[in-house]
Structure 1
Amino acid sequence: MTNLSPRARLATALLRTAATLSRVSGRGDGSVIGGRVGLKVEPRLLALLAENRQVALISGTNGKTTTTRFTAAALGALGPVATNSFGANMPTGHTTALAKAPEASNAVLEVDEHYLAQLLLESKPRVVALLNLSRDQLDRAMEVGMLAEKWRTALTAHPDVHVIANADDPMVTWAAQAVPRVTWVAGGQRWQEDSWACPECGKRLDRYGEYWRCTNCGLTRPSPQWSVDGDQVVDPTGQRATLSLQLPGQVNRNNAATALAIAAEFGVPLTEAVPQLSKVRSIAGRYAVVRRDGRRARLLLAKNPAGWLEAFDMLDPGVPVTLCLNAREVDGYDTSWIYDVDYSPVLGRQVLVTGDRRFDLAVRLQVNGIDFTVVDNFAAALRAAPEGNVEVIANYTAFQDIRSEFDRVN
């Protein structure tokens, strides 16, 4: 920061001012508007702020925010970390994150899948972590195979970057093989409906549990150097460490393994990194618990078929569940993807349905043979549930609506 040009210093000062005004006026945390102002004044501000820092980029359809928070926590053992771990994952948010942490020599940035090529160019990262690829907002976003090809092309232009990639996802594997240095993590792939065809030759992949291969061109699941065994993570040397996470589900243990692999590349020993992860309790309200009128509701965010499948895996047995579905701009207006989801994991529970598109979801549940009750809003859903624990699965804006109702729980 001390070597910034006068123009860049002015842009940074205006960025911080805009971000502060946004926060105090209650319009948001200021990450987007701050970065927008800063980049307007100095278009190269992101690249300038990233200079002389060790940067890790984390991208994928699902799990970016959680893995970023885990990684930032692990790297905290080395000192201050610049990060956008609350989800502002486009260049405006990256610029703000770097500007807000001028003394941090390390940075961990969550990156929207479509902006990875730009961030590779501007931030010159030390490490890029690739989590997964699956369908998401197909009414306005790129098809999965096209996105994998975009990643592969972008990585080809940066052969010196160290990639940490999910060996269980064929699309990620194919993209990551564009560079010579890859650390493979058994990152899981519960949702497989977007990767039955080989991304190299287009032939059908053979699958055997987590293993996969193409018998036509030979593309095969790499042997992972990092894996999860029960509640333990195993590193490339065979060393084991027990994960004591505050966040639920196998998917978060896999996210933790990726974060630890990144931390190891930055020089943080496993024994020092693992305890840091247990400090992560909730990410922008995800997994938070809210209480009202004797009900204890846990909030789970699920934005696409893969996300809903992982959320079902986190449900406590027998607990009533509220499903919330909206279709606003940031959700994507097309809700046809709900027919890709198997809702049978909620069979036998009390199921309450709400949100702007609650009747769409009701029809889908009826097709799946699920008994349910449609209610007008989340408050009515809570009243309809018995006292005690309630699980809540909501897509993006429905989730934000609930957070707003409870004063944006952390």
Structure 2
Amino acid sequence: MAGNSDPLTPRAKLAVTAGKAVAAASRAAGRGSGSVIGGRVALKLDPDLLARLAQNLDVTLVSATNGKTTTTRLIAEALGAAGPVVSNALGANMPAGITSALAGGSEAKFGVIEVDEKYLAGVARDTDPKCIALLNLSRDQLDRAAETRMLAENWREGLSGTKAVIVANADDPLVVWAASSSPNVIWVAAGQMWKDDAWSCPSCGGVMQRPGDDWFCGECGFRRPTPSWALSGDHVLDPHGSAWPIHLQLPGRANKANAASSAAVAAVFGVPPQVALERMYQVQAVAGRYDVVQFKERDLRLLLAKNPAGWLETFSLIDPPPTPVILSVNARGADGTDTSWLWDVDYTRLTGHPIFVLGDRKLDLAVRLEVANQSFQVCETLDEAVQLAPPGRIEVIANYTAFQDLRRRVGN
């Protein structure tokens, strides 16, 4: 292993170069960013490459079911106040994509890395993070992800005894259970709108009691820890009791919660809340999410929602009725092929909105809306939906691959 100034062995350098070449070829062929295929090639040539690339970085890992990409971006902005940052900002969050991102950051001091929930323990082993942010756990991709209790157990086992500072959401019992095996946890009261995955105690299986914002298990005594940071309206409360205003261009309560967790992470690295929160204001959109685009002489706001918890938060952001809403759902590999989660979403929140339905699984969604007594029209294309929609800005809510399809169509 080389000295600290250059942790890369000749083999590692070859792996990085080959990975970049393959990524460039993939981009040139119009197959996306190439980061995943480039990372795969690089890791084949040097299986220890991720650990080597992380060696000289102060690493923060971010994992959750919802909000990973946005929170990763907010933390990266905040830490930029203290030095150069490398990040997988476009959301390629498995080992190959993470390796590709870090290979491009040779001058960086900080690595801020979004990690898919199932890979968190392994990536934490490889990257020796200083900090790990755990935001929430809820059901998602039912065909490929084990149920949430098992994910929480994997996190708990994988992170037990870690040297990293864990910044964890005190309002999500599954996250608290996962983080409780770690010696150094900073608890953030970030809130939890979606509670349907946390009615039974992750510790003993008993029924959770939820008086107000508190929660506890009446059977084993597992309970909400006392937070040192909190989201309070439009402010972040720090451990000293000071309230710092949150000014974001990103909409909604969920993003204020993401900002509160990000401020707590920034403080671990010595960036004060005021500086961290001011820098977060720069973020206008994250990988196309929240962008307002012009299409067919209309303003469309693009919103990503991938699972019941995400749809619930997204419905709270949209403009009031009679703003038209376009919903698009696919069930391809990256989305998860099981659409039964649609039945967990409360679509009565869309009452009064003209609704237009698109995507590979538009008929699944249409049946669900019918049962929820919503009036809607099924459309073949985005163009058709936009032409049928009444005047005014249109809210467009889509799951993962449907969102990418829409971005391509609007040229974003």
With normalisation by structure 2, the TM-score equals: 0.97
Give yes or no for the alignment of 1:50 onto 2:44.
Answer: no
2:392 maps to 1:388: yes
Letter in 2 for 1:46: L
Could you tell me whether the CA contact under 8 Å between 1:294 and 1:388 is conserved in 2? no
1:340-393 deviations in whole A, cap 9, x for unaligned? 111011001111111111111111011111111111121111111123200011
Cα distance in structure 1, aligned partners of 2:381 and 2:224? 45
1:186-223 C-alpha deviation (Å, 9 max, x unpaired): 12211111100000010000002321111111111112
> What is the CA distance between 1:21 and its match in structure 2?
2.2
In the alignment, what sits opposite 1:244? 247
Rounded to whole Å, the distance in 1 between the matches of 2:401 and 2:329 is 8
Structure 2: gaps of 5 or more residues = none
Name the CA distance, whole Å, in 1 between partners of 2:228 and 2:379: 48
- Secondary structure class of the residue paired with 2:215: strand
1:360 paired with 2:368, answer: no
Q: Contact 1:295–1:386 at 8 Å: present in 2 too?
A: no
Structure 1 equivalent of residue 235 of structure 2: 232
SS of the aligned residue for 1:228 comes to strand
What's 1:321 paired with? 325
* Length, aligned pairs only: 407
Kindly state the Cα deviation for residue 32 of structure 1 after the two structures are TM-superposed.
0.4
Select the residue among 261, 270, 274 that pairs with 2:273: 270
Contact 1:54 1:105 in 2 (8 A): yes
Say whether residues 1:118 and 2:136 are aligned partners: no
Q: Which residue of 1 aligns with 2:44?
A: 40
Distance in structure 1 (CA, Å) of the matches to 2:17 and 2:193: 45
Structure-1 residue corresponding to 2:308: 305
Query: Deviation of residue 261 (structure 1)?
Result: 0.6
Calculate the TM-score normalised by the size of structure 1: 0.97
Structure 2: how far apart are the matches of 1:82 and 1:272?
19
* 1:257 paired to 2:260: yes
Report if aligned partners of 2:87, 2:113 keep a CA contact under 8 Å in 1.
Answer: yes
Residue in structure 1 matched with residue 377 of structure 2 by the alignment:
373
Percent identity, aligned pairs only, is 54
Offset from partner CA, 1:228-276 (integer Å, 9 cap, x none): 2221111111122111101000000000111111110011111211111
Where does structure 1 differ by over 3 angstroms across 4 or more consecutive aligned residues? none
Offset, 1:141: 1.2
SS for the counterpart of 1:388 is coil
| RMSD of equivalent CA atoms | 1.1
Q: 2: distance between equivalents of 1:345 and 1:198?
A: 29
Using the alignment, how far apart are the partners of 2:7 and 2:90 within structure 1? 28
Gaps of at least 5 residues in structure 1 are: none
Quote the residue 2:29 is aligned against.
Answer: 25
Q: Give per-residue Cα distances to partners, 1:3-43, cap 9 Å, x unaligned.
A: 31110111111122222222233211121011111111111
Counterpart amino acid of residue 40 in structure 1 = K
Moved more, 285-294 or 388-397: 285-294
